[in-house]
């Protein structure tokens, strides 16, 4: 397993690694079917960006063009700004990350307290980039070919190959992510195939976590 988490956990925390479109959320759902709770970083970020103080700050920075007709943040408009400017992206991240981390801490403690929850899964696209891997007890790399990921993202987000490569290049290389992982799950097959891999991996993680002398 990966290096021990900086804070002892009552249950294992599993971090998911993989490229855009690899299907980390699919693997997270498979773990959920096996009794895990999931912390979805994208969902926490979506909630944070609609907070009143964030909305007003973004409006101050970028004007009313980042608002929808109903006055909410237009995430697509924000995306066009930050993915064309490293400076603006870092500025946005510096504001959102503390809010996301606060939400993550509350959600993690809630999941730890649930008797039926066997482990907590961190579904975070930038797990290594933000250092969240250091809070995980095990890391799982979700493996999927570029062509399959492109097909998925083309259908769901309208990305072409150039866009996928551009987004991927903003992250830590996939080889590094795979080498950092304790386990690999292939997400290039039927759902039952993914679930069976997840079952085997989860059994091993839980066994090692509670095995005397392994923590």
User: Residue 9: which CATH number?
Assistant: 3.40.50.300
Say what the pTM is. 0.88
Asked which of 117, 144, 167 is the last residue of a domain, the reply is: 117
pLDDT digits (tens, 9 = 90+) for 120-130: 999 999 999 98
**Which residue, of 117, 150, 165, is where some domain finishes?**
117
pLDDT bin (cut points 50, 70, 90) of residue 161 is very high
- The better pLDDT of the pair 215, 167 is held by 167
User: Residue 213 pLDDT > 60, yes or no?
Assistant: no
Last residue of a domain, one of 117, 143, 167: 117
The stretch 93-118 carries a mean pLDDT of: 94
> What confidence tier does 140 reach under pLDDT thresholds 50, 70, 90?
very high
Contacts of 53 (CB under 8 A, 6+ apart): none
Rounded Cα distance, 204 and 200, in Å: 6
The string of pLDDT tens digits covering residues 61-87 is: 999 999 999 999 998 899 889 888 889
> Which of 167 and 205 is assigned the larger pLDDT?
205
For residue 59, the enclosing domain spans: 44-117
């Amino acid at each position: 397993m990966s290096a021990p988490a900086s804070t002892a956990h009552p249950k294992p925390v599993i971090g998911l690694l993989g490229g855009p479109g690899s299907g980390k959320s699919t693997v997270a759902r498979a773990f959920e079917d096996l009794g895990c709770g999931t912390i979805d970083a994208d969902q926490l970020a979506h909630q944070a960006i609609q907070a009143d103080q964030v909305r007003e700050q973004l409006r101050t920075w970028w004007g009313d063009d980042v608002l929808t007709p109903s006055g909410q943040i237009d995430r697509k408009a924000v995306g066009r700004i930050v993915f064309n400017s490293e400076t603006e992206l870092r500025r946005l991240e510096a504001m959102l990350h503390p809010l996301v981390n606060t939400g993550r801490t509350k959600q993690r403690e809630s999941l730890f307290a649930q008797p039926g929850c066997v482990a907590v899964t961190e579904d975070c696209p930038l797990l290594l980039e933000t250092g969240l891997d250091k809070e995980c007890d095990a890391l799982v790399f979700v493996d999927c070919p570029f062509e399959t990921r492109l097909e998925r993202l083309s259908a769901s987000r309208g990305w072409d190959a150039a866009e996928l490569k551009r987004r991927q290049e903003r992250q830590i290389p996939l080889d590094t992510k795979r080498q950092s992982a304790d386990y690999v799950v292939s997400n290039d097959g039927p759902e039952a195939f993914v679930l069976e891999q997840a079952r085997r991996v989860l059994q091993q993680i839980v066994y090692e976590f509670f095995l005397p002398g392994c923590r």
